[in-house]
Amino acid sequence: MYLPQLDNYSLSFPDPHDANKEGIVAWGGDLNPSRLLKAYQNGIFPWYSQQDPILWWSTNPRLIMELDDFKLRHSLKKKLKKFEYKFDTDFEKVIQKCASVKRKDQNGTWINKELAESFSVLHGMGIAHSVESYLDGKLVGGLYGLTIGKVFCGESMFAEVSDASKAAYAILVKHLKFWGYDFIDCQVPTQHLKSLGAKEVSRDYYLERLYKVNMDIIKNEWIVEENLIN
């Protein structure tokens, strides 16, 4: 099947509805911050192995987390006070740790130097964010992603201590609800995220939801509310 190739001059993407049966929209191009932002605004994200060309995806089904569906199990709730939480304090280190996590059935990581640098630029623009879990002053877990309108697009998470990333995710959900966000885009279905309450939806449904909230402008200061943590 023919796949459109992107160049390094135009930031436009093919219609994500026209992705192939695997969910690939296009290949090629680069990972500059403007292109990344354009991709996420259109429900598209990069995902590829180091030895492959850049592949741009809009998967079907798509995994999303409705904020009210998050399952805060009793065992995790008890552990929330075990950690200290910070937002956007060490964004680059969170990406580095996410890149170094060994994942089942994966060799290496899709989080390469170019992608990390572009996300760091988006972080400086107030678009990409991290949530961090600390134990005895040491960063032991967290996650990062970016915001598109009222959608938080989750990218990756890591944990060096049991439940450190789940706890950061719980804190993220609390704040997103407080700030008036709509849902979390979890991208590719995984059993781990499903166990937390995420659900599979069709690509058409996801894109319709995304387009409805894409233009909603919300004050995106990411001010941590202490009463949501304690």
pLDDT greater at residue 49 or residue 109: 49
pTM of the model: 0.91
Q: Which CATH number fits domain 5-59: 3.40.50.720, 3.30.70.3550, 3.90.1150.10, 3.40.50.2300?
A: 3.30.70.3550
Rounded Cα distance between 102 and 111, Å, is 12
What local confidence, expressed as pLDDT, does residue 54 receive? 95
What local confidence, expressed as pLDDT, does residue 212 receive? 86
CA angle, residues 64, 79, 146, in degrees to nearest 5: 35
> Domain boundaries in the chain?
5-59, 63-229
Mean pLDDT of 21-43: 96
* Domain 63-229: CATH class, spelled out: alpha beta
What local confidence, expressed as pLDDT, does residue 3 receive? 93
What pLDDT digit, counting tens, does each position of 52-69 carry? 899 999 999 999 999 999
pLDDT greater at residue 137 or residue 8: 137
Q: Which residues contact 53 (CB under 8 A, 6 or more apart)?
A: 27, 28
Cα diameter, the chain: 53
Rounded Cα distance between 129 and 99, Å, is 16
What local confidence, expressed as pLDDT, does residue 104 receive? 58
Strand partners, 172: none
Q: pLDDT exceeding 90 applies to what percent of the chain? A: 83
What local confidence, expressed as pLDDT, does residue 48 receive? 93
What pLDDT digit, counting tens, does each position of 179-230 carry? 999 999 999 999 999 999 999 999 999 999 999 887 555 545 566 666 676 5
What local confidence, expressed as pLDDT, does residue 213 receive? 81
Residue of 27, 46, 49 whose CA lies nearest to 105: 49
CA angle, residues 109, 100, 199, in degrees to nearest 5: 65
Sheet holding 24-28, edge to edge: 5-6, 24-28, 55-57, 45-46
What pLDDT digit, counting tens, does each position of 86-140 carry? 999 999 999 999 999 876 555 546 799 999 999 999 999 999 999 999 999 999 9
What local confidence, expressed as pLDDT, does residue 219 receive? 47
Kindly report the average pLDDT of the chain as a whole number. Answer: 91
- pLDDT of residue 145 exceeding 60, the answer is yes
